[in-house]
Amino acid sequence: MGNCSCRSNINNQLESGEEHETQDQLSTTEKRNRPSSKKPVLPTLPIPGFNEDENLRYPLYDNDDIISHSQLLHNIHRYIWQNNFSSPVDDLLRKGRARVLEIGCGDGIWTIDLAKEFTWSRFTGVDAHQKFDQRVEHTNVTFLKADVLDGLPFDPDTFDLVFMRFLSFSEKQWLEKVANEIIRVCKPGGWVEIMDCTNQYAPKGPATSQLEMDYLRSTNKITVIRREEKRITLGKGGGKVGPLLVQNIITTWEQSKKSLSELMGVSEKEFDNLTRTFQKEINDLKTSTRYIRIYGQKVIE
């Protein structure tokens, strides 16, 4: 699972990138249905499509148990969108016998979550690095070590939904391999979906720009291409998820402090000062990040 970052003055020393027009924005305030208790209260958000008086379908926390870092990040993304995908395949998955592929599945959190919800469909996760636990308790889940750049080990026209998120490829890789490969394994009439966020750690990647849609169109195999965005305020102004996303950014930087400080030409103490300033700036400036989903349907020939 990838990480998202954001923009503030201090970020000019840490990162670079571009911004996109947004369609939706999570409110900086949240209303609760009742006073807090031991179990986290299901939040309500005053954003389009949600009734402020109703509980959300996907709360930020599933239960009182301590969850892993990757599970929390998955919950955050699911909470922001209030679904695990945007492609119109929900009814198909509930009917059963549909097949779904996640490329770059990491430890398999997204794949397993869908397998638990859509028990009559089959789910496959692949990753170039074997991070997933092959001892999966769900019989409708399979994990394989595979790299989309080397070719996926599946026959053409296999999956009803091909999904990937937070993966970075060069323009050459997109044009010569990735776009054609993900479309090859998708069934005619099936859907390809890509999720990413504005990422300022490196120059803007194709999955966060209009170029990504152009890559899919260039294959002449995808129609009905759609784009959705969610804008999230980071820090104190971002309700429940804002502080968690900031903590994720800081944790990621801390894990790479030595190499990042050497790359930037600063001491580790100076690096710590920059991260503290970063946290203050995002609260003062109400810094935000944007999540993006692009999805399209494979043509039926």
The answer to the question of residue 93 being in a domain is yes
Task: Give the pLDDT of residue 211.
Answer: 61
pLDDT means per 10 residues, the chain with 301 residues, are 42 35 35 33 33 62 67 91 96 96 95 95 94 79 96 98 93 91 97 82 42 77 90 89 89 90 93 92 89 94 82
Task: Give the pLDDT of residue 140.
Answer: 95
Report CA-CA distances (Å) from 263 to 13, 14, 129, 164: 11, 10, 26, 30
CATH of the domain at 69: 3.40.50.150
Q: Which residues contact 184 (CB under 8 A, 6 or more apart)?
A: 152, 156
How many independent structural domains does the chain possess? 1
Report CA-CA distances (Å) from 210 to 46, 161, 229, 293, 294: 29, 22, 13, 12, 10
The answer to the question of residue 94 being in a domain is yes
Supply the range of the domain harboring residue 79: 11-33+41-234+287-298
Amino acid in position 79? Y
Task: Give the pLDDT of residue 251.
Answer: 87
The answer to the question of residue 24 being in a domain is yes
The answer to the question of residue 171 being in a domain is yes
The answer to the question of residue 187 being in a domain is yes
The answer to the question of residue 252 being in a domain is no
Task: Give the pLDDT of residue 220.
Answer: 86
In this structure, the chain runs to a length of: 301
* pTM for the whole structure: 0.77
286/234 Cα distance (integer angstroms)? 7
Residue reference for tokens 């955050």 = 76
Task: Give the pLDDT of residue 128.
Answer: 94
Q: For the chain, how big is the Rg over CA atoms in Å?
A: 20
- Do 75 and 67 touch, CB atoms closer than 8 A? yes
The answer to the question of residue 270 being in a domain is no
Structure tokens at 66: 């301590």
The answer to the question of residue 243 being in a domain is no
